[in-house]
Structure 1
Amino acid sequence: MRIRQSRPEDLEEMLRIYEIARRFMAEQGNPHQWGDDNYPAEELLKEDIREQRSYICEEDGAVVGTFCYWIGEEPSYREIREGEWMNDQVYGVIHRIASDGRVKGIGSAVVDWCLNRHKNLRIDTHEKNLVMRNLFRKKGFTYCGKITVDDGTERFAYQKILES
């Protein structure tokens, strides 16, 4: 699998993948994590592309997954409840991992790719997103507590630090 930065011409495929991901989450008992049928909004994806924090996963030239990643502060991670972050050092942030289901292991490949770029990662997910919570456990993330995202809902927060 190849991972590369998203380009404006990838937007249609990204929207297709997020549509599939929303349907999959609803079928798995998690219909509320991404709120409505428009998350992530097209404008947010365009901003991610402009800010060079949007990525595409390709297999044999086909777009099969997408995610957002950057190194720096995530405002919703400033306050954590019922726990604490493992450190206060600079970290990488992974958001909105999504796949169209054609290729297995995209979440794992994304985490590995991000860990190769930064050894201190933070990520969050909805309590009912058992697929992602299982991935985080499998990849060695530590549950750190609960955070609140922009829409006021709660998320489970995780961190992984690779030793040098």
Structure 2
Amino acid sequence: MELRLAQASDINRIYEIIMQGRNFLKRCGVNQWQNGYPNKENIMEDIERQTGYMLCDAEKSAAYACIDFDGEPAYDHLRGTWLDQNDYAVIHRMAVDDSYKGQGLAKQFFEKIETFVCARGILSIRVDTDNDNSIMKHLIEKSGYVYCGTIWFDNSIKIAYQKQLGLDKRP
């Protein structure tokens, strides 16, 4: 699997993956992403800002995420404590194609992102999810992220995590 920058020509494929994720969450009874976010405009903004990334195998694009190095304003208002105040990357809008679910791809995606972030000289990643998204919370925690508190984002309370990256993630 290869991590690559998303291009404008990927917009329909990315949105297909996002919609699969939205429908999966709905089937699981999770309220996250059920209000129209993220939409194509969010994805196009990711692409234009060069923060949209795809995880691809030889056959097709398997997953999408926004990897942002400019911080997240909502994180300035954490109800809790971050592990540190160093520069960090943020993961937003992560989704995996339905045909890859159950194969450990999301965990592999986290690992690829962590290696990529370290290569940019950043040793910390923050991520958040809805409290009722137990699948994502489990994945985040299993990937070594630490619960730091809650934030208000997209008109709801989110559970916020951080991971400090070690030497094992540097290329």
Q: Tell me if both proteins adopt one fold, taking TM over 0.5 as the criterion.
A: yes
| Alignment-mate amino acid for residue 159 of structure 2 | F
Mapped partners of 1:55, 1:162: distance in 2: 20
Moved over 3 A (4+): none
| Alignment-mate amino acid for residue 156 of structure 1 | I
Report the CA distance between 1:29 and its aligned residue.
1.7
Mapped partners of 2:163, 2:143: distance in 1: 9
Map of 2:53 onto structure 1? 55
Map of 2:38 onto structure 1? 40
Identical positions, percent: 31
Deviations for 1:100-158, whole angstroms, at most 9, x for unmatched residues?
12222232122112211232010000001111111111111100000010x32100000
Matched, 1:142 2:146: yes
Report the CA distance between 1:34 and its aligned residue.
1.1
Report the CA distance between 1:41 and its aligned residue.
1.4
Report the CA distance between 1:52 and its aligned residue.
0.3
**Which of 119, 122, 125 is equivalent to 2:126?**
122
Report if aligned partners of 2:129, 2:159 keep a CA contact under 8 Å in 1. Answer: yes
SS at match of 1:87: coil
Report if aligned partners of 2:22, 2:34 keep a CA contact under 8 Å in 1. Answer: no
Map of 2:162 onto structure 1? 159
* TM-score, normalising length: structure 1: 0.92
Matched, 1:91 2:88: yes
* TM-score, normalising length: structure 2: 0.88
Report the CA distance between 1:162 and its aligned residue.
2.1
SS at match of 2:166: coil
Mapped partners of 1:94, 1:65: distance in 2: 13
Aligned length: 160
SS at match of 2:99: coil
More helix per residue = 2
Uncovered stretches (5+) of structure 2, i.e. residues with no partner? none
**Which of 81, 97, 102 is equivalent to 1:100?**
97
Uncovered stretches (5+) of structure 1, i.e. residues with no partner? none
